[in-house]
C-alpha cells in the first residue's frame, strides 16, 4: 500500500472512534448518495429493503461541497454509491478511491442522458468546463431514466427482492407521469413564462415545461457577477418587462435583491434540491412547490 502513513493513521483512528457511521437496518442494502434528490429516488424504489443516506443535504451547495472524513467511512461501509456525474460532484472520484471499498456498486445516473450545453456549465474551480449542464433531474423525463438505473442496480445487488423493486418503480413512474401532465396543463395557461435565474439550474426544467430563461445572474454557483453584467441585466429586465427573478436558498440573496430594487421584478426562491425549503421534502413535492410558486408570481 503506497498510502502515506499519516493518512493510514488518521483513518485507523477514525474507524476506531466511529465504528458505525451508518445506522443500517438489518438485511438492507446500504446506499450512500451525493445529493438529497438521489436519496429520495433510492428510498422510493428500495423502501424497506434499503438504508439510504445523502452526503449533501438540501441546504448545502452541491457544487462547492467539502468532503468530510465521515463521508469516506460511509462510502467504505456502503454497498452502493449513487451520483449525478456530468461534472457536478467533482470530489466523488477522490471519495471512492479513498473509501477503498472493492465491492462498491457505483451508479452514475447521468449516463445515457444528453446534456444541455449552456454557458453556465463551469463546475470546476479554475478549469474550463468539459461537461454540459448537470442539473438533469429537474426534468422528470430525465428523472425516469435515473430511476430506472437505480432500480437495475438495486436488483443486481439484491435479486431476491426484484419484484418489490419493479413494483415500486412502476408505481413511482406512474406518479411522475401524473405530475408531469398536471404541470404541463397548468403552465399551458400562462401567457408569460420568462424569468431571470440566479445560477443556471433550470434549463432542463424550462425546456420540459415551456419556461424561458432570459438570463443568469451568475454563470456558475459561487461566482460574482461583474458590474457590467448586472447593468445589462437591469436594462434587459426593464426593456422586456421581465417580472420574475428566480433565486435559490443555497445562494447569496444579496444580488437578486439589488436587481429587484432596481427594476421592480420580484424575487422568488425555488429549490433544485429537495429539503431546502418547507414543503419540498421529496422530489415530487419540490417540483410541485417550484411550479406553484412560479405560477403564482407569473400569473397576470
Binding site for Zn ion (CB under 5 A): 201, 221
Instruction: State in angstroms the smallest separation of the CB of 112 from Zn ion.
Output: 21
* 193 contacts: CB under 8 Å, gap ≥ 6: 187, 210, 211, 212, 298
Cell, residue 45: 424504489
Q: Which is nearer to Zn ion, 97 or 224 (CB)?
A: 224
Cα separation, 157 vs 31, in Å, equals: 11
Q: Which is nearer to Zn ion, 21 or 200 (CB)?
A: 200
Dihedral sign, Cα of residue 185, residue 136, residue 283, residue 153: positive
Q: Which is nearer to Zn ion, 71 or 248 (CB)?
A: 248
Instruction: State in angstroms the smallest separation of the CB of 62 from Zn ion.
Output: 6
Q: Which is nearer to Zn ion, 198 or 243 (CB)?
A: 198
Instruction: State in angstroms the smallest separation of the CB of 119 from Zn ion.
Output: 14
Q: Which is nearer to Zn ion, 172 or 204 (CB)?
A: 204
Q: Write the secondary structure of the chain as one string of H (helix), E (strand) and C (coil).
A: CCCCHHHHHHHHHHHHHCCCCCCCCCCCEEEEECCHHHHHHHHHHHHHHEEEEECCCCCCCCCCCCCCHHHHHHHHHCCEEEECCCCCCCCHHHHHHHHCCCCCEEEECCCCCCCCCCCCCCCCCCCCCCCCCCCHHHCHHHHHHHHHHHHHHHHHHCHHHHHHHHHHHHHHHHHHHHHHHHHHHHHHCCCCCEEEECCCCCHHHHHHHCCEEEEECCCCCCCCCCHHHHHHHHHHHHHHCCCEEEECCCCCCHHHHHHHHHHCCEEEECCCCCCCCCCCCCHHHHHHHHHHHHHHHHCC
Instruction: State in angstroms the smallest separation of the CB of 135 from Zn ion.
Output: 6
Instruction: State in angstroms the smallest separation of the CB of 201 from Zn ion.
Output: 5
Q: Which is nearer to Zn ion, 119 or 178 (CB)?
A: 119
Q: Which is nearer to Zn ion, 150 or 201 (CB)?
A: 201
CA 233 to chain centre: 26
Instruction: State in angstroms the smallest separation of the CB of 37 from Zn ion.
Output: 12
Q: Which is nearer to Zn ion, 100 or 119 (CB)?
A: 119
Instruction: State in angstroms the smallest separation of the CB of 79 from Zn ion.
Output: 28
Instruction: State in angstroms the smallest separation of the CB of 204 from Zn ion.
Output: 11
Amino acid at each position: 500500500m503506497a498510502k502515506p502513513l499519516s493518512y493510514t493513521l488518521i483513518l485507523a483512528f477514525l474507524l476506531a472512534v466511529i465504528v458505525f457511521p451508518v445506522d443500517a437496518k438489518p438485511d438492507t442494502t446500504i446506499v450512500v448518495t451525493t445529493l438529497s434528490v438521489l436519496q429520495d429516488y433510492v428510498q422510493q424504489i428500495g423502501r424497506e429493503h434499503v438504508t439510504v443516506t445523502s452526503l449533501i443535504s438540501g441546504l448545502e451547495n452541491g457544487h462547492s461541497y467539502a468532503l468530510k472524513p465521515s463521508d469516506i467511512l460511509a462510502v467504505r461501509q456502503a454497498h452502493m454509491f449513487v451520483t449525478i456525474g456530468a461534472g457536478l460532484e467533482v470530489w466523488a472520484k477522490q471519495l471512492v478511491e479513498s473509501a477503498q471499498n472493492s465491492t462498491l456498486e457505483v451508479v452514475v445516473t447521468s449516463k445515457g442522458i444528453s446534456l444541455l450545453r449552456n454557458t453556465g456549465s463551469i463546475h470546476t474551480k479554475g478549469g474550463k468546463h468539459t461537461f454540459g449542464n448537470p442539473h438533469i433531474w429537474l426534468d422528470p423525463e430525465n428523472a425516469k431514466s435515473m430511476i430506472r438505473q437505480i432500480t437495475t442496480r438495486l436488483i443486481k445487488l439484491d435479486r431476491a427482492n426484484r419484484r418489490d423493486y419493479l413494483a415500486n418503480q412502476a408505481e413511482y413512474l406512474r406518479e411522475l407521469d401524473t405530475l408531469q401532465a398536471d404541470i404541463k396543463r397548468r403552465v399551458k395557461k400562462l401567457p408569460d413564462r420568462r424569468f431571470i435565474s440566479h445560477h443556471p439550474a433550470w434549463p432542463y426544467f424550462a425546456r420540459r415545461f415551456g419556461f424561458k430563461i432570459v438570463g443568469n445572474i451568475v454563470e456558475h454557483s459561487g461566482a460574482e457577477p461583474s458590474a457590467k453584467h448586472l447593468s445589462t441585466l437591469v436594462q434587459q429586465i426593464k426593456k422586456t418587462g421581465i417580472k420574475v427573478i428566480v433565486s435559490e436558498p443555497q445562494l447569496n440573496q444579496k444580488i437578486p435583491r439589488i436587481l429587484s430594487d432596481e427594476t421592480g421584478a420580484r424575487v422568488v426562491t425555488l429549490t433544485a434540491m429537495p429539503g431546502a425549503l418547507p414543503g419540498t421534502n421529496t422530489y415530487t413535492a419540490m417540483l410541485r412547490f417550484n411550479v406553484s410558486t412560479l405560477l403564482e408570481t407569473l400569473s397576470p
